[in-house]
Structure 1
Amino acid sequence: MPEAITLAVRPDLPSADVQRSLASWLRADDRLRDGVTTTPPTDETSTDGTDVLRVAIGDAGTVMVLVQAVASWLTHRREDVTVQLVLPGGSSAELDVRRARDMDQVTALIAAAVRAVAPE
Structure 2
Amino acid sequence: MDVTLTAAGGQDADELRSLRTWLADVDELRGRVALVESPPVPGTLGPVLDALAVALGPGGVATALATAVFSWIRQRRGEVTVKISRPDGAAVEISAKRVQGVEGSSLRELLADAVRVLEADGPGEVEGPR
Measured against the shorter chain, the TM-score band is 0.7 to 0.9
Aligned residue type for 2:110: L
Instruction: Say whether the 8 Å CA contact 1:68–1:107 is kept in structure 2.
Output: no
Q: Aligned partners of 1:40, 1:83: CA distance in 2, in Å? A: 17
Question: Residue in 2 aligned with 1:46?
Answer: none
**Which has the larger displacement, 25-34 or 102-111?**
102-111
Question: Residue in 2 aligned with 1:54?
Answer: 53
**Structure 1 residues 8 and 91: alpha-carbon distance in aligned structure 2, compared to 1, 3 A threshold:** same
**Structure 1 residues 33 and 62: alpha-carbon distance in aligned structure 2, compared to 1, 3 A threshold:** same
CA displacement at 1:85 relative to structure 2 = 1.2
CA displacement at 1:80 relative to structure 2 = 0.9
Structure 1, residues 59-100: CA drift from partner, whole Å, max 9, x if none?
Answer: 261000001100110111111111111113222232333171
Aligned to 2:27, what secondary structure does the other structure show? Answer: coil
Structure exhibiting the larger radius of gyration computed from Cα positions? 2
Where relative contact order (Cα < 8 A, 6+ residues apart) is larger, the structure is 1
Please report the TM-score for the alignment, with normalisation by the length of structure 1: 0.74
Identity rate of aligned residues, in percent?
34
Please report the TM-score for the alignment, with normalisation by the length of structure 2: 0.69
* Residues 95-110 of structure 1: pairs in structure 2 closer than 5 A: 95-98=94-97, 100-102=100-102, 104=104, 105-106=106-107, 108-110=109-111
| Unmatched tracts of structure 1, length 5 or more | 42-48
Residue in structure 1 matching 2:27, options 4, 26, 30 = 30
| Unmatched tracts of structure 2, length 5 or more | 39-47, 122-130
**Structure 1 residues 107 and 14: alpha-carbon distance in aligned structure 2, compared to 1, 3 A threshold:** farther
**Structure 1 residues 55 and 117: alpha-carbon distance in aligned structure 2, compared to 1, 3 A threshold:** closer
User: After the TM superposition, which parts of structure 1 deviate over 3 Å for at least 4 consecutive aligned residues?
Assistant: 101-108, 116-120
